[in-house]
Amino acid sequence: MRNIVLVTTLLFASACGNAGGASIAPSTPLVVVNGQAPVTYGQVTTGTPPLSTSTLPAQPEILRTNTSCRTPTASANARAAYVYTYGGGVRTPMHHVSIKDTPEAAAERDQKRREAASKLKAQTKPMSQKAMRKEAMAFAEGNTVESSRQIYVLVTETDAPVFLYLASYDSVLWNIQRAPGVTIDGIVVNSYDAGVIANGVEADRTAFISFANSPNKTCYVGGKGRAVPVEERVAAARKLNPSIDLRTRKEQWDEEYRDTRRFFRTNVRSLIGKHPEWILNDARKGSFQAVLVGSAPAEPFQAQPIGRLQMPSHIIPYWGTR
């Protein structure tokens, strides 16, 4: 209840701001599996509803984090997608503060900050020094607020239910967009900073894990992109610079290739329950705005507004302007 009250409180504080989250251009390239033809956002879906800073798109569902690291796995008849991005996405009004201890300890910390502010006002030091100290305190508190970026997950696979394992470093609001006939089997968000899911599924088929503020940091698994063969990296490097000396790089790249293959054979397979059919990441840039799980449709489908908003229990969420 505490989380929802704080979300609503910020709405009133920011009701005068009408600038919503930035929209995504139809020409934006989608991240697709290796070997798939290039696809743009407008070829898959149209009409993305904007997010307003003054209006919650849906009443938040607060899902309790499982401290034993248990997460749902893909059903026997489902196909799985593994998505990884370091960051990226488009601006969103979703922000949060991490809870790293008990609510009682957080309240005690807040009271100490208030007392420190009162003492600061009572001091007789030069005004410039007082102003600098007050600004430093405000800056430190402001840095505890994490801003989420929105990434669209466009699912068009209709032959089988789709299980989504969504990994990132930065805080991401994963907006799930389904083509007609799509069934989502389950969703796991694994990130360094806390993530949020829009248009997700039932709570018993959903899980949140994060390193920075999960009750159990050992649950977090650092993400990886697809395994890039050494020959592919050599060809790309020589395309940029034909005379480049790669003798010291080949051994490192070969080890990275083997390490990534081991990651997907063991870690990801055990996390998802099966090998993912789609491994989606941008190996060159490490960040993106949207991914495609499936094939490009003959006609783009209409994007759905956010009708479900799910958040982990180990954050205090804020919706509005920072």
Residue 68, pLDDT > 50, answer yes
Residue 28, pLDDT > 90, answer yes
Contacts of 173 (CB under 8 A, 6+ apart): 89, 92, 94, 148, 149, 150, 151, 195, 196, 197, 198
- pLDDT at position 322: 66
Q: What is the DSSP letter of 100?
A: -
Residue 143, pLDDT > 70, answer no
Burial class of residue 101, CB neighbours in 10 A (0-12, 13-18, 19+): exposed
- Residue 312 in 3-state DSSP? strand
Instruction: Write out pLDDT tens, residues 267-278.
Output: 999 999 999 999
Higher-confidence residue: 19 or 61?
Answer: 61
Higher-confidence residue: 128 or 4?
Answer: 128
How many residues are there in the chain? Answer: 322
- pLDDT at position 72: 96
CB 129 within 8 A of CB 47: no
Helix/strand number for the chain, H first, E second: 7, 17
Q: In the 3-class helix/strand/coil scheme, how is 39-52 assigned residue by residue?
A: CEHHHHEECCCCCC
Question: How does the average pLDDT of the chain come out, rounded?
Answer: 84
Residue 12, pLDDT > 90, answer no
Contacts of 282 (CB under 8 A, 6+ apart): 31, 85, 88, 225, 288
- pLDDT at position 84: 94
CB 58 within 8 A of CB 306: yes
Q: Which of 9-13, 129-133, 165-169 has the highest mean pLDDT?
A: 165-169
pLDDT category, 16, cuts 50, 70, 90? very low
Residue 134, pLDDT > 50, answer yes
User: Pairing relation of β-strands 90-98 and 315-319?
Assistant: antiparallel
Residue 26, pLDDT > 60, answer yes
- pLDDT at position 49: 84
Q: Is 187 left (phi over 0), alpha (psi -120 to 50) or beta?
A: beta
pLDDT category, 2, cuts 50, 70, 90? very low
| Mean pLDDT calculated for residue range 199-211 | 94
CB 63 within 8 A of CB 56: no
| Mean pLDDT calculated for residue range 159-167 | 97
Residue 42, pLDDT > 70, answer yes
| Mean pLDDT calculated for residue range 148-156 | 96
Q: Is 47 left (phi over 0), alpha (psi -120 to 50) or beta?
A: left
Question: Which of 133-142, 199-208, 279-288, 312-321 is least confident?
Answer: 133-142
- pLDDT at position 102: 59
- pLDDT at position 123: 63
- pLDDT at position 4: 45
pLDDT category, 1, cuts 50, 70, 90? very low
Q: What are the angstrom distances between the C-alpha of 122 and each of 25, 130, 134, 135, 303?
A: 52, 10, 13, 16, 55
Against a cut of 0.85, is the pTM above it?
A: no
Calculate the CA dihedral of residues 43, 153, 31, 297 and round it to 10 degrees.
Answer: -30
User: How far apart are alpha carbons 302 and 223 in whole angstroms?
Assistant: 31
Instruction: Write out pLDDT tens, residues 244-266.
Output: 888 888 889 999 999 999 999 89
**In the block, residue with structure tokens 């783009």:** 300
